[in-house]
Amino acid sequence: MPVCQISPAFALASPRAPYATDPAASRGRLIAEPASPTRSEFQRDRDRIIHCTAFRRLAHKTQVFVPHEGDHFRTRLTHSLEVGQIARSLARALGLDDDLAEALALAHDLGHTPFGHTGEDVLDELMRPYGGFDHNAQALRIVTKLERRYAAFDGLNLTWETLEGLVKHNGPLLRADGQAAPRYAKRGLPVAILEYNEIQNLGLAQFASAEAQTAALADGIAYNAHDIDDGLRAGLIDFAQIGEVEFLRAIGGEIEALYPGLEPVRAIHELVRRLITLFIEDAIAESRRRIAATGVASVEEVRAQDAPLIGFSQHMANIDRSISVFLFENMYRHERLIRIRDRAGLIIRDLFPRLLMAPDLMPAEWARAAAKTTDETRRARLVCDYIAGMTDLYAIAEHQRLFDKTPELRLSAPEAQDAD
């Protein structure tokens, strides 16, 4: 069988499964609101996420490349939209609530800083004396506190199911004995999550819904496939290099056999779309197998499992891992990107201490909030919230306003390929 044979059966939507999350049975919102006459609870959550300020800002936040490097590269916004599309496809095929899956996919990156993971790492380092920084915890702060749109409440007042999925889409945060899960074992859970959990218990020791697991898997699919796309277009990697991954070499061979001499832009797109299709089809088949094997018949039974129900087969998980390793070694550690990341890190390193010492340099609303507290930790968190919310371009502009010299962040290398 060819590597990229596509099965049309996977395109068909399934009826709502008994293990899906039912919006009519939602645990509700922290602040009670009348039901919408035209939308389900999860459709309403999705719409609030799309219309919030933090979502719009993602248009100017780095995915891998700084946005002003080229209009064809992905930003956090375009990445989130692509994750949403993949999550909906998976959810529909599995009989899940695709509105909840999409809402979680669109919200999963709301807490990211300017300059991608570099900004997060530097801000976490600078915030270490004050509780650190975690983009998932920051997303929770945004949707429960920092967004200021509604007259009756701070944040977006999302449903319990959406908040649960936002916090736990990568798995439980606590072990059964109450200790932090392995990824938080050294530092403990982020303070923002613990504080909110005291107000509304999100069941941190359980898995999230299948819809949340679907959004997390969709993120991984989009991340690897689209970073290959952007890396090829930018000239940081080439077709010869990606041939180091046997699976990608096989797909490339099929494309060459079907379309000899295909122009590079079309060849890149053909590679990426086939890769995404194969990941989606494998995830659907494997998730159906796990669901059948466990016999789950409710969303509560999904949460009570000791392993995720949505995932890749072992074969495809190995392929996914090999692609991640390839991208880490050949693209993310490319000297051109490292140079830009180092310079972007300097911008955050300069801004944070300057604003912490002189919070009146922030816009009036932020300066007034800082003036109301004498607690250095609270002031540091305010500054952290302000910087984390910045777009790449705004962070650069603020640095230019406050400092005599600002690092240059453009790639000093051959221009990226044009693409439509």
What was the pLDDT predicted at 332?
85
What was the pLDDT predicted at 417?
41
416 within 8 A of 238, measured Cβ to Cβ: no
Kindly tell me the burial class for residue 269, based on how many C-beta atoms sit within 10 Å of its own C-beta (0-12, 13-18, 19 or more): middle
Both tokens of 52, joined, read 């919030």
What b/e string do you get for 209-232 counting C-beta neighbours within 10 Å, with b at 16 or more? bbbbbbbbbbbbbbbbbbbbbbbb
What was the pLDDT predicted at 236?
87
Going by C-alpha positions, the residue among 107, 91, 96, 88 that lies closest to residue 46 is 107
Phi, psi of 36 (to 5 degrees): -75, 135
What was the pLDDT predicted at 8?
47
Domain 40-199 class, CATH top level: mainly alpha
What was the pLDDT predicted at 336?
82
Report CA-CA distances (Å) from 355 to 326, 349, 380. Answer: 39, 11, 9
What was the pLDDT predicted at 419?
38
Tens of pLDDT, residues 119-164: 999 999 999 999 999 999 999 999 999 999 999 999 999 999 999 9
Phi-psi region of 209 (alpha: psi -120 to 50; beta: other; left: phi over 0): beta
Residue ranges of the chain with per-residue pLDDT less than 50:
1, 6-11, 66-71, 412-420
Assessment of whether the complete model's pTM goes beyond 0.75:
yes
Long-range pairs, 191-197, Cβ under 8 A, ≥24 = 191/131, 191/137, 192/134, 192/137, 192/138, 192/140, 192/141, 193/134, 193/136, 193/137, 193/140, 193/167, 196/140, 196/144, 196/163
What was the pLDDT predicted at 246?
95
Q: Where are the domains of the chain?
A: 40-199, 235-333, 336-402
What was the pLDDT predicted at 333?
85
What was the pLDDT predicted at 368?
95
